[in-house]
Amino acid sequence: MNARNSITSEDEKLANKQLKNQWDNTDWNEVEKLVNRLQIRITKAVKITAARFNGLSNT
C-alpha cells in the first residue's frame, strides 16, 4: 500500500512500530521455555481432572 494514501493514523503507525520493536526484541528461547512449562501444567491438570471424573486416584 502506498504510504501517501494510507488511512492509518499516525498514532497507529507509531504503535505498529513499537509492536515490531517488541517482536524483534523478544527472547524466543525464554518464550519457548515458558510455553513448554505451561503445556506441562495444563497436561497435568487435565489428567488429574480426568482421573477425578472417572473416580480414579489423582496420581
Mean pLDDT by 10 residues, the chain (59 residues): 68 82 95 98 95 72
- Considering the domain boundaries, does residue 4 fall inside one? no
| 47 belongs to a structural domain | yes
pLDDT number for residue 48: 93
Domain that holds residue 52: 27-59
Q: What is the pLDDT of residue 54?
A: 86
Number of domains, the chain: 1
- pTM, entire model: 0.58
Compute how many other C-beta atoms are within 10 angstroms of the C-beta atom of residue 47. 13
44: in domain: yes
- Dmax over CA atoms of the chain, in Å, equals 65
User: Which single residue is written with the C-alpha cell 520493536?
Assistant: 21
Asked if residue 6 is part of any domain, the answer here is: no
